[in-house]
Structure 1
Amino acid sequence: MAPRGFRAAAPRRFVALLAALLLLAACTGGGGGGGDGGGGPQTSPSATADEPGDIVVASGRDVTGKNGVRQRLIDAWNVRQEREGTGYRARLVELPGSADEQRSQLLGALQSGSAGYDVVNLDVTWVPEFAAAGLVRPLPERLVDGDVIPSVASTARWDGRVYAVPFNSDVGLLYYRPDYLRQAGVQHTDLSSGLDWERLRTLIVDLDDRDPGAYDQGWTTQLAAYEGRTVNAVEAFASAVPDLVLTDADGRYRATAGQLARGIAELRRRTDASYTLPDAVRSDEAASVGDFADGRTAFLRHWPSVYRTLYQSFTRRQLGVAPLPGRAVLGGQNLAVTGASRRAGKAAELIEYLTGRESERCLLDAGFAATRVSAYTDDTVRCPVTAGAPSASPTGESADRMPRDAAGRPEYARPILLPALRRAVHRPRTPLYGAFTQTLTARLGPLFGAGPPSDEELARALDEELREALPD
């Protein structure tokens, strides 16, 4: 059990750590549809004559901290270029603001040509929009080879072509407090093999009867009016309707009001007030992990990146991680070459390095979800960049308290994270994803208010609006 003073101390300890989480793109979508971006598909990198100079990589903030693993991978590539005398050097530019704000900045910069970006780090939900608008170039198929986790590899393509290469992935997981469960008299507190929602509700009832520590309510997640609500909804919909197809391969809306009603009913059950921390309806990633760290709840739905963050304060006896009950949404970020790049060929080479086997092992060791199977299963693949030097946290701390297996990976990576990524479901893939997520987020709002409408009433309204937002 956490000390009684933990609730007061946790916010001070976590404030800098949580700030980085606000910028996680793994669980954010876009807003709005694609423009013409200069029109039409761009030529492949090999068709462009490169000019020596800086290759500018635009990305959101690296949650592994100052001089984090992304910067160190770029530094290692630069050392190779200097040694070979190529005349190229990569430079990382971190974009400020939330992921939605970053998307708007990238769209504006690429459509206007006002920023000299060669490589952009895109949320997986943005790839169809940027590809359809001609803002990023097709890439060689070999960059997404058979080592990339199949569910993750599919995020790289649009309209039959590769437009981006998976860099780091993401998937919903369930974090929990085994010490709270022990205090509630639960005999089997290792949930790593998985559980369903009925088992989770039973455990919450046990906790409510004993009320351990600073505990308030069973579980929390991200239900504020932003992409977190969309993620939770898609997970509930996919769990309730296993064969649900919200959009087809061309991004056209294909669900029915009846299917939506079943999904809404499942979301309503999951977020029932008797099981869910009241603050969840106003929570984003940072707020929800803060409530969990503060001891207010025993279960948290979140992304792999907080595994390392939480172990800065919790011990093995206080923290566990399990697959999310039901279906979990796939997130992550992919690297793409911009249509306007004057160094497109070399930029593609940089992407190949940053997403290669050794680089993906570096990302996994630092706390990201790697995109390649070999990072999880091949002990001969090692990280040459971070070996013996764990990446710093957003607060500048260098201590690495994250449990690791015999090969040095995060302990949960192979038995829990890799299977979760393989089973993960996609959010709709469409150039109009922004319109989809804005419609879903807004229309589901009444579900979390006073006197919510029936499942069928809400589903009919949502079905009608989605048909308008995603026309055939």
Structure 2
Amino acid sequence: MGRGSGGQGGARRGGGRSTGRRVLLAGVLGCLLAVSSAACSGGPEGTPQAGQDGNATDQGPIVVASGLDVTGSGGVRQQLIEEWNRKHASSKSEQAKLVELPGGADQQRSQLLGALQSGSAGYDVVNLDITWIPEFAEAGLIRPMPEEETVDRDFINRVHRTTLWKGRSYARPFNTDVGLLYYRPDLLEAAGIQPSRQPTLNWSWGDLNASIKTLALSPGRGDDQAGWTTQLKQYEGLTANTVEAFASVGVELADEEGRYRASEADLKKGLDELLERTRHDRILASAVSADETATLADFAAGRVAFLRHWPYVYGALRTLLPPDAYSVNRLPGASVLGGQNLAATADSPRAGNARALIAFLTSQESERCLLDAGFAATRASAYNGNSRPCWPRVAAALRPADGASTATGGPSSAPPSKAGEGGAKDQGAAARKAFTWTLSGALKEAVQRPRTPYYGAFTQVLQAHVHALLSAERPDSAKAAGRLHLDLRDAFEGK
């Protein structure tokens, strides 16, 4: 989610009910600008050539707005932009520029909304969290994709569906994300548990809880240690964990059109599942205030044996732990999708060039670069060995001085760490192949968070209620479900 979208502030009104009031979009374009359907083949996979759209008349650069790159300064996104610029060095109008927005997801979303409403920033391409697509599309801030540019069966189906709103595609999938389960074989073996170092498909929460119970009985376990941890701070990580718990017991909050569909009984069922997963005898106490960074630190320090986290952590762990001290598997139950999609802005005067750049950034070569750098790629070919390799100059630019490879065998932009002997050490080809297989399988079965133009209101309402429940000394899921039901109903109606 980088790792997930942020929430929009809710309001309080009569009766003390939280409504997650949506900020009205002032000055939004009344209709989407016409997009020329004319395109000719050339470039990766027959994508449109830059500069051949009728409304691409203004000079460059093509400005891409994005959140910070988790692969670091000068990371893979910047390297892909530079590769595009090298390929179009003879044309000033086709040069591109990456603008990274500061702050968390909430701030980035607010900045993009304000900039696109006012037209003050001059962005041509925006890298949107997948949960923002309905809101930006409904507001007329991004262009629908021409039909001939949306038919690409190489994109993983569930990932491509995140670009859709009301039957139209408004973006192309750039990088994706999915929850995974990391574990510490060294800690488990010390407790007499013999974990499989190869990924399996049949891990359940029952299996995980049994291992946690055995782990707790192990001599020498400290008061600051627990079985597992995850991101339960009041931010988007909590929404992801909650949706995973709900989906695992068959609870869906909204339909494809963004209409609320859950009942109080559904919500209680989902909340009970979340409470069961986060029992004090299973989860690290600090999880209720932890985000991605904190939970990764707890896992690396040995305070937990299991960790729910995102794919980029596999590459990050090579700088924190010895190769035999960590492994990864599918998350038991449902796992939620994250990631970002690239969309052309509605008022860009460089629409043709913007779409050509998007096609390049989501090509097979570029998706392979993203996977090799630690992101989860959006194309099936990146996982099954049928993709074209990463652009050579991008691969060389991302390769560290020690020549170590990434999780999938390509170059890594992560700096060597002094945490372990000799710095970063690679797990080897077999482990990397197993990770890629695990990641691919998880993406094909992942679930989406609710699709709604009022996502900001929804996520804040959900976070507020769920965090209060998890923080309560004696949590009452029935009472929490009743209150949550009323506020979610309003949030999904934009009240």
Q: TM-score, normalised by structure 1?
A: 0.89
Q: CA separation of 1:425/1:249 partners in 2, compared to 1, >3 Å: closer, same or farther?
A: same
How far residue 40 of structure 1 moved from its aligned partner, in angstroms, is 3.0
Of 414, 417, 424, which aligns to 1:393?
414
Please name the residue that 1:43 is paired with: 34
Show the counterpart of 1:94: 100
Residues 127 and 102 (structure 1 numbering): CA distance in 2 closer, same or farther, change over 3 Å? same
Residue aligning to 2:445: 423
1:81·1:89 contact (CA, 8 Å) conserved in 2? yes
Number of the residue aligned with 2:3: 26
From 120, 124, 142, the equivalent of 1:114 is 120
Find the counterpart in structure 2 of residue 443 from structure 1: 465
> Residue 159 of structure 1 aligns with which residue?
166
Q: Determine the C-alpha separation between the residues in 2 that align with 1:404 and 1:42.
A: 50
Q: Is residue 457–residue 491 contact of structure 2 (8 Å, CA) maintained in 1?
A: yes
Distance (whole Å) between structure 2 residues aligned to residue 301 and residue 146 of structure 1: 30
Specify the code of the residue in structure 1 equivalent to 2:414: S
Retained in 2: the 8 A contact 1:169–1:370?
Answer: yes
1:71-130, Cα deviation, whole Å (9 max, x unpaired) = 1111111111115x4632000111111111111111111111110111110000011111
Range that drifts further, 166-175 or 248-257: 248-257
Aligned with 1:61: secondary structure?
A: coil
Deviations 1:130-179 (A, max 9, x none): 11111111112344410000000000111111111110000000111000
Aligned residue for 1:445, secondary structure, equals: helix
- With over 3 angstroms needed to count, the CA separation of the structure-2 counterparts of 1:211 and 1:287, relative to structure 1, is farther
Provide the C-alpha distance between the structure 2 equivalents of 1:340 and 1:88, rounded to a whole number of angstroms. Answer: 17
Query: Could you tell me which residue of structure 2 aligns to residue 201 of structure 1?
Result: 209
Q: Which residue of 2 aligns with 1:15?
A: none
**Match in the other structure for 1:255:** 262
Q: CA deviation at 1:211?
A: 4.9
Pick closer, same or farther for the CA change 1:43–1:403 going to 2, 3 Å.
farther
SS at match of 2:145: coil
Q: How many residues align?
A: 444
Q: Secondary structure, in 3 states, of the residue corresponding to 2:158?
A: helix
C-alpha separation between the residues in 2 aligned to 1:319 and 1:212?
20
Identical-residue share of aligned pairs (%): 50
CA contact (8 A) 2:55 2:352 kept: yes
Given the alignment of the two structures, is residue 127 of structure 1 paired with residue 128 of structure 2, yes or no? no
Partners of 1:361 and 1:121 lie apart in 2 by 18
Computed over aligned residues only, the root mean square deviation of the Cα atoms, in angstroms, reads 2.2
Corresponding position of 1:303 = 310
| CA 1:453–1:218: 2 relative to 1, 3 Å | closer
Counterpart Cα distance in 2 of 1:78 and 1:464? 51
Deviation (angstroms), 1:380? 5.3
Give the conservation status (yes or no) of the 8 Å contact 2:324–2:427. Answer: no
The more displaced of 277-286 and 456-465 is 456-465
Give the Cα separation in 1 of the matches to 2:380 and 2:310: 19
Distance 2:81 2:427 in 1: 27
Structure 2 CA distance for partners of 1:72 and 1:447, relative to 1, 3 Å? same
Structure 2 CA distance for aligned equivalents of residues 43 and 120 of structure 1: 18
Letter in 2 for 1:274: D
Q: Is the 8 A contact 1:58 1:93 kept in 2?
A: yes
Counterpart of 1:166 in 2: which secondary structure? strand
Match of 1:405 in 2: 429
Show structure 1 runs of 5+ residues with no match. 1-23
For structure 2, the 5+ residue unaligned runs are: 10-21, 37-52, 400-410
Counterpart Cα distance in 2 of 1:70 and 1:211: 47
Q: Distance in 1 between matches of 2:446 and 2:478?
A: 27
Shift of 1:413: 4.1
Q: How does 1:39-438 map to 2 (within 5 A)?
A: 39-44=30-35, 46=53, 48-83=55-90, 85=91, 87-144=93-150, 145-190=152-197, 192-194=199-201, 195-211=203-219, 216-241=225-250, 244-379=251-386, 381-384=388-391, 385-388=393-396, 389=399, 390-393=411-414, 401-403=425-427, 405=429, 410-438=432-460
Taking the aligned partners of 1:40 and 1:395, their CA distance within structure 2 comes to 50
Relative to structure 1, the CA distance from residue 264 to residue 99 in structure 2 (aligned partners, 3 Å threshold; closer, same or farther) is same
2:136 aligned partner, one-letter code: F
Residue 16 of structure 1 corresponds to: none
Kindly provide the amino acid, as one letter, of the partner of residue 242 in structure 2. Answer: A
Q: Measure, in 1, the Cα distance between the counterparts of 2:455 and 2:424.
A: 37
1:440 maps to amino acid: L
